[in-house]
Structure 1
Amino acid sequence: MSRDLHDTIIQEMLALARDVDIKSAGCADPFVIDMLSEIRVGILNNIKTLREIIHDLHPEFIHKMGLPLALNQLCIQVQKQSSFALHMHIDQYFTIFDRELEINMYRIVQELLNNAIKHSQAEHVSLILAEESTKYVLIYDDDGIGIDKDVLKHQPHFSTMGWPGLNGRVAITGGQLNMDSLKTGNERKGLHIEIVWPINRGL
């Protein structure tokens, strides 16, 4: 799908932008020139949006950059749009060769940070990604308002957004998720999540 979008829709939109440039260059009416300019800007904005969608559908950059660097860039982006202080530590010896797990780890961190932005009201968020002899460990902590576990239990399991989606990603990659949080009135307990994946090094 991502390749089809790039090779067809985006190329056609670029061709439209070039046609607008040609029409604008041959026009003497300032009003028409301004209108064509606005159309061109709209086309280029749509191209930018499509490229972002393709980026999400086919995150090849994760494999090219490596998960640690991709996560560091994600944290830089999140810090620009969040009000909390974000701290990330990735084990300097961290290595991963499972492409599916690599993508899902990235998406899980992305979902945790999105939830922190939208719901946590935290002042500090920390992430630790470590590789031990037999497992990968991802630890998330914040000092926000926490989550009511009873609310989580009643979310539809078929949902692909939010916590059900995160739980699904952990499950399909053979991980185990443990969460510690309790939201009671205005008490701020924060949120602690630990996700563990066994390392299968083969024979």
Structure 2
Amino acid sequence: MEKLITGEDQILSIITGAICLLILMALAIIIFFYFSRKKIIKTQLEKANMEIAHQKEVLQSTLITQEEERKRIAQDLHDAISSKLNIVSLNANFLTEDNITPPEANTIGKHISNITATILESSRKIAHDLLPPTLEKFGLEAALEELCEEVGDTKKFEVHHDLSYSEAFLDSDRELHLFRIVQELINNSIKHSNATQINLVMKTGENQLYLQYRDNGKGFDVVKAQQAKGLGMSGIKNRADILSGILHMESSPGNGINITVKIQR
């Protein structure tokens, strides 16, 4: 009888131990899944926070770019139009004087006519820079081709371009941002680089746009250029961010620049 009881106690102990082991294993699994899920949620939150931070940076970059452009347009309007209109107004006042002679009036009239022609040309150029009519009417490829030809026609630069763009690859707003990138790169080459050659390549594949810009100018320190304030290279980077593009910039003193932009559809 004692042996039977002892055997039952052993079986009960085994069953109890097995149940405890199963409970421990279940708890371990629950704890594992709990912490795994917690880690996944934490990772997702970190990713979401990074995305929000990136969107804030892009928005801030957009506002900075717009503000710099407003300042540049305001300066252009002041330099090219307002100051000249003051001269026109001054000369017009001379015409109202009683003692003015016909030859003097004729000279002042010609002067006013010449200044007015200059103002009209400046206005046309400012309007063209704000929204290139070729871009609006004929698209990005035609606008970039026109831009390259305008620079080449000055005979100060040897400009080569290889452009192949699938219509509507980008929407009109994004096309304008890409056009501004190229426009700013060319402006930098003209104003600062002492370059004699400019090369522009643009290709579109099924899902990616590739743009490369090179010149043979004096180059610059990339790190300093990226840290510099103002429209310049920071404006180019801002626009690339707005386009969700990958901007790669290569340059060093004496070696020109090589800039690529890759944009996914």
Q: Report the TM-score, using the length of structure 2 for normalisation.
A: 0.58
How many residues align? The count is 174
Indicate the larger mover: 130-139 or 57-66: 57-66
Structure 2: gaps spanning 5 or more residues: 1-76
Partner of 1:95: 167
Question: CA 1:49 to 1:167, structure 2 compared with 1: closer, same or farther past 3 Å?
Answer: same
Contact 2:227 2:234 in 1 (8 A): no
Cα pair distance change 1:155/1:28, threshold 3 Å: closer
Q: Distance in 2 between matches of 1:83 and 1:60?
A: 25
Correspondence 1:127 to 2:193: no
Secondary structure, counterpart of 2:107 in structure 1: helix
Within the alignment, does 1:84 sit opposite 2:157 as a pair? Answer: yes
Give SS of 2:143's match. helix
| Higher alpha-carbon Rg | 2
1:82 deviation in Å? 5.9
Deviation at 1:41, TM superposition (A): 2.2
Unaligned runs of 5+ in 1: none
User: How far 1:74 sits from its partner (Å)?
Assistant: 0.8
1:184-203 superposed matches below 5 A? 188-199=254-265
Q: By how many angstroms is 1:143 displaced? A: 2.6
Q: Does the C-alpha gap of structure 1 residues 145 and 60 become closer, same or farther in structure 2, counting only changes over 3 Å? A: same
More helix by share: 2
Tell me, yes or no, if the aligned pair for 2:198 and 2:213 is still in contact at 8 Å.
yes
Inter-partner Cα distance in structure 1 for 2:201 and 2:163: 6
2:236 aligned residue (152, 155, 166) = 166
The 5 Å alignment of 1:45-194 reads: 45-81=118-154, 83-91=156-164, 94-96=166-168, 97-156=170-229, 159=230, 161-183=231-253, 188-194=254-260
> Share of identical aligned residues, percent?
31
How far residue 28 of structure 1 moved from its aligned partner, in angstroms, is 8.2
- Aligned match for 1:35, one of 105, 108, 124: 108
TM-score by length of 1: 0.74
Superposition misfits of 4+ residues, deviation over 4 angstroms = none
Instruction: Tell me, yes or no, if the aligned pair for 1:181 and 1:190 is still in contact at 8 Å.
Output: yes
